[in-house]
Structure 1
Amino acid sequence: MVETKKLKSREEIDANSKWKIEKIYENIQLWEEDFENLKKVTPEISKFEGKLNSAKDLLSYLKLEEEILRLGEKLSVYAHCRSDEDTTNTTFQSLKSKIDSFFTEMLSKMAFFTPEILSIPEDTLLKELDELPELKIYKTLIKDILKSKPHTLSKNEENIMASVSECLEAPGNIYSMLSNADITFPKIKDEHKKEVELTDKNYSVYISSKNRKVRKEAFKALFSTYEKYKNTFATSLTSSIKGFIFNSKMRKYNSSLESSLKPNDIPVEVYNKTVETINNNLSSLHRYVKIKKKLLKLDDIHMYDLYVPIIDTPNVHIEFEKAIKIVEEGLNPLGSEYLNIFNEGIKEGWIDIYENKGKRGGAYSSGSYDTMPYVLLNYNYKLNDVSTLAHEMGHSIHTYYSKKNQPYVYSNYTLFCAEVASTTNECLLLNHLINNEKDKNMKLYFINQQLEQIRTTVFRQVMFAEFEKLTHEKLEAGNALTSEDLCNIWHELNVKYFGEEMVVDSEIDMEWSRIPHFYSDFYVYQYATGYAAANSFAKKILAKEENALEKYIAFLKSGGSDYPINILKKAGVDMSTSTPMEDTIKRFNELLDMMENTIKD
């Protein structure tokens, strides 16, 4: 009889395997004392309202704002991390709830800052910035705010926009409740012909099943259920898009796409160029589908065959210490300084390694200006866990570099840059594993891993981005979009992206209804651009291009000191051109060649 492995409680986990969260606060009493200090100091920010046209008062405001935010973030990181260690611990849930609620109050007290800065004549404001040497550090921040002036409303109008924000968020909330709470799926039969209840969460298990009957049944069961609610989902999504359009019109943007990109100084052309470049290279994805069909020995390939692995996941057990060595070897091209920081993170207790009862699932990197960049893992000794370690440490070392080299005001990097460092680590690791693996099946597994990364992170996300663009443009032009319209757009995109080898089943037409990111306007394209930038960095570093590593480290040190396109361009990756995306397609084609050649050997 096989003994069931018992999940340990938090107390049973060895201290050396836990993050050293006590470096923030040794005990809850110290946290509570700092929370009381935060509550005392925050109201003082209000005394600066109406006084920001004085250089001295502006500097005092900015210093106090930093003090409040830094303390608030420190308290928040501790509360959230402790809460995630054991989600059943009500003490830590209470701390998290307290700081989350107070953060909303805190930010509302600072809400006067931007409108007041914009009410001051620009010449007067810039003169004030030159008056005090200490203010010069804030010049980029202030200039950034001034650039938003054409899109900032009067105080009364801003209050109206703030008051309707909850209404504009309603479609997303309705979608969340419908898809997460109200929908129930039918039962299906698993590989052992045992009846199991399908859920949106366990769908990924069954759609990747080696048994074709299982994945087909899961596919049909899932999407036929969504189809029953198609009109509700369509109304929810189109209402959300209309909210984005309303916001963009009120703020005098030319389109909802521009309103999403312009605040970070990302040209609309970057988005359009991304979609265009992928459209020009869809033959590579069509080739992938053809190869997959052949390797799976299928007479015809359907949408439900996309996620079944070509190569079974190797059944290997990798101790955490071994995982560290594998990642170190993969990241060796990043140089000794980077690897020293990586090892410092391991030794200093950045990482909470193993699963325990009540621990939050998944993985993340989290930290503030005054804490270590902590990493939550649920390490389970598999190859994917090794990749996750490389990914999350990429985020944390990016944070480490930013915080060490930037003042607080510019220490946070944007979402456009956020996934670049983590994905660069993954690209370097997979390149290393592919190039050094001798076992044929293992090599094929690693090749397929990177192919799937590019298929799902680049091709798939750009298809999503194209859907967003089409739906927003149609509604902006005054056209109605019914559930049938949305299904037709989705179907046509799938036909175009996957090519003539793929049987585009009618059930897939409802897939748009289960993508939560569509309720965050023009979000998904950044997965593709982030991967393309990371692939470019990895390619340059591995080719030992002149100053490539120095430029990459400079990128990690940049934080939010400039707009993301400028930061990447200085580091040698120009996202305003199609080159990074084209380089990613080249890598995809190289991997397809490798796969075919490895199979022949």
Structure 2
Amino acid sequence: MAKTYNNRTDVPDHEKWDLTDLYKDESAWQEDVKQSYELADKLQTFNGKIDDSTSLLQYLKTQEELSLIVRKVFAYAMFRQDIDTRDSKAQKLNGQTAQLSVKISESTAFFMPFLLSLDKKTLEQYIQEEAELAYFEDSLWKSFREKEHVLSKEQEQLLSQLHETFQAPSNTYNMFNNADISFGDVTDEDGNQVQLTRGMYSKLIEDEDRSKRQEAYKAYYKPYVEMNNTIATNYASEVKTNAALAKVRNYSSALGEALFSDDIPVEVYDNLLQSAKDNSKPLHDYAKLRKERLGVDELRQYDLNVPIVQGVKAEIPYDEAYDTMLKALKPLGEDYVAQLELFRDKRYIDVRETKAKRSGAYNMGVYGVHPFVLLNHHDDLNSLFTLVHEMGHALHSHYSSKEQPQITANYKIFVAEVASTVNEVLLIQYLLKNTEDERMRAYLLNHFIEQFRGTFFTQVMFADFEKQTHERAESGEPLDAESLNELYEGLFRTYFGEELVFDDEVKYGWSRIPHFYRAFYVYQYATGFVSAIDIAMRILDGDKETLDNYLTFLASGSKKDPLELLNETGVDLTTSAPVENAMKMFKETVEELRAMDV
């Protein structure tokens, strides 16, 4: 039976964060807040006063000093609130960090317009005159790339002041989706009608009783259907804002702006969408297999999450899960495994679900301290995979912080999912290799297929939706509820095939995706997934060069652009090869599952 805890005080200390690694107490945190304001004020004094290499260096060093402190300040406040979202003290701390963020934004708004007002020769001269500027050189030149996209100092200050207004659609959606949303009713075990919660939904949608799945599905979509016009208007505002800001800043499109900072060609995005469509037949075959194994006359969306190998329940206590992870990730080398052991021993992981703790899981690296991992561990197979996933992020943060200076220690989002997914692939292959029970093997194959479906195909479909909505806004086409619903339903049919019989709720699916308020983010899950499969399978084949290159990748932070970092591991996302390799593996996995008589 999985361990459950009513209160955080009941959780053993070794399964809780030790936040004294950040600050010994709240007064120490307040001292850093005070120092942050002082440094922000100091940065503001440079406005109009940077006129030589020495003053440029002084500004950049002060900014980096502030960045190091602020990272700790923000992390501590966030962690305090995440372990108990009811904590009024933690809420106040986060209120202070919000005010500090505005202060820093205002204090530094002048710098980018100033930097880009320089001509190239002047910047080169400054770097040659002051040896210490070599540390900042790459960052300065990357910023200089944005010269044609940054406005005047006055215009940038105005946009900075309007930042909260631009965030309004996102904030409005988050408030609706987290605070105000009220799902429909479902029938509990005693036959009573109770209001559905997200936690209940995640369990009921996997229930072997189809009527329960259907009831939960209808109840879950109820508020999105009822609020369809309002959500559509809100999302249209988000998309139009993105399109308008891209135009104001002289980008070719909102997509072009989103990809610019990482130097990702639009062709990589388009290639991903096309390659997914070209290789979608195995997914359609899997839908047929799912229909057959579930024994249903019509395959509905609420049939897509229940395991098709039923009756397999694996209880895996946390310590056993951790030991399994250590064995599965052994191919990554002795030091990698040793660091994983240290994370458990040093209390870098907050393990258990407790009342009012933030849901889900994440890793956050704090430069100069260490990464912190939040879990809500339930002693089951999904929790094992979540553990392995988040520790991939954590070790990526660990090695990058260890080997890189602060300025290049943070890796880009584009490569973030590679390290986590490499770990998941190594885990699934380890479990398959060491599982003799046929039903468990089939269950694991089904799990891996579902990972493909969710992390690759679904995210690519979302990315396609984002691309088309922004293109419509840029060409002046309407973005109302009807057109958004129609677009989403059409994409769902394209990617998932005709085997599905659509309930009316399917077309409202776009309205429940919070990631759409962080434009052109989700495609990176898919690129990271196919890259990770490519890397992990070569490591398992004993390719030492790939292993060495991958470990170098983990320690590289943002030293190089994302595509270059991946190229050095042998993954070229400008071609369709990584997607085709992953799809070959997907096809073979579906075929193996079909051949099993379970």
- Name 2:416's counterpart in structure 1: 418
Kept in 1: contact 2:456–2:529 (CA 8 A): yes
Shift of residue 410, structure 1, vs aligned partner: 0.8
Pair 154,414 (structure 1): closer, same or farther in 2 beyond 3 Å: same
Contact kept, 8 Å, 1:190 with 1:206, in 2: the verdict is no
> 485, 488, 491: which is aligned to 2:486?
488
Instruction: Name the residue aligned to 1:94.
Output: 92
Indicate which of 9, 22, 35 corresponds to 2:20. 22
Unmatched runs of 5 consecutive residues or more in structure 2 = none
Seen in structure 2, the aligned counterparts of structure 1 residues 81 and 456 have a Cα distance that, compared at 3 Å, is: same
Residues in 2 aligned to 1:262 and 1:4: alpha-carbon distance in whole angstroms: 46
Say whether the 8 Å CA contact 1:53–1:125 is kept in structure 2. no
Equivalent pair of 2:258/2:520 in contact (CA under 8 Å): yes
Q: Give the TM-score normalised by the residue count of structure 2.
A: 0.95
In 1, Cα distance between equivalents of 2:9 and 2:354 = 9
Indicate conservation of the 8 Å contact 1:51/1:58, yes or no. no
Query: Aligned-pair distance for 1:528?
Result: 0.8
- Conserved in 2, the CA contact under 8 Å of 1:398 and 1:557? yes
1:199-598 mapped onto 2 (5 Å cutoff): 199=197, 202-312=200-310, 314-598=312-596
Aligned to 1:61: 59
- Three-state SS of the structure 1 residue aligned to 2:595 is helix
Q: Deviations over 1:342-380 (max 9, x none)?
A: 122222221122234443332221231121111122222
Identical counterparts, % of pairs: 38
With normalisation by structure 1, the TM-score equals 0.94
For residues 311 and 361 of structure 2, the distance between their equivalents in structure 1, rounded to whole angstroms, comes to 20
SS at 1:503 equivalent: coil
Partners of 1:274 and 1:356 in 2: CA distance: 40
- 1:524 shift after superposition: 1.4
Asked whether 1:80 is paired with 2:95, we answer no
CA-atom RMSD in angstroms: 2.2
Counterpart position of 1:44: 42
Q: For the structure 1 residues 49 and 489, does the alpha-carbon distance in structure 2 shift closer, same or farther, using more than 3 Å as the test? A: same
Higher mean C-alpha deviation, range 329-338 or range 199-208: 199-208
2-side partners of 1:177 and 1:81: how far apart? 21
Q: 1:271-292: per-residue Cα shift (whole Å, max 9, x none)?
A: 1000000010110110110110
The one of 197, 201, 213 equivalent to 2:195 is 197
Deviation for aligned residue 1:527: 1.2
On the 8 A contact 2:392/2:420 being kept in 1, the answer is yes
Residue 32 to residue 172, structure 1, CA distance change in 2 (3 Å): closer
Distance between the aligned counterparts of 1:116 and 1:492, measured in 2? 47
- Residue 358 and residue 269 in structure 1: after superposition, are their counterparts in 2 closer, same or farther (change >3 A)? same
Q: CA deviation at 1:192?
A: 5.9
The more displaced of 98-107 and 539-548 is 98-107
More off after superposition, 306-315 vs 396-405: 306-315
Q: Out of 346-355 and 5-14, give the one that drifted further.
A: 5-14
1:332 maps to a residue whose letter is: K
How far 1:4 sits from its partner (Å)? 12
- In the superposition, relative to structure 1, how do residues 191 and 272 fare at CA in structure 2: closer, same or farther (>3 Å)? farther
Decide whether the 8 Å contact of 1:311 with 1:441 is kept in 2: yes
Give secondary structure in 1 for the equivalent of 2:461. helix
User: Which residue identity does 1:421 align to in structure 2?
Assistant: A
**1:484: Cα distance to partner?**
1.7
Cα distance, 1:184 vs structure 2: 3.1
Deviation at residue 226 of structure 1 after TM alignment: 2.6
Structure 1 residue 206: deviation in Å? 2.7
Deviations 1:462-493 (A, max 9, x none): 11111112222222222223322222212222
What is the total number of aligned residue pairs between the two structures?
598
1:478 partner SS: coil
The question of whether the paired residues in 2 share the 8 Å contact of 1:494 and 1:504 is answered with no
| Structure 2 contact 183–221 (Cα < 8 Å) conserved | no
Bigger drift between 577-586 and 396-405 goes to 577-586
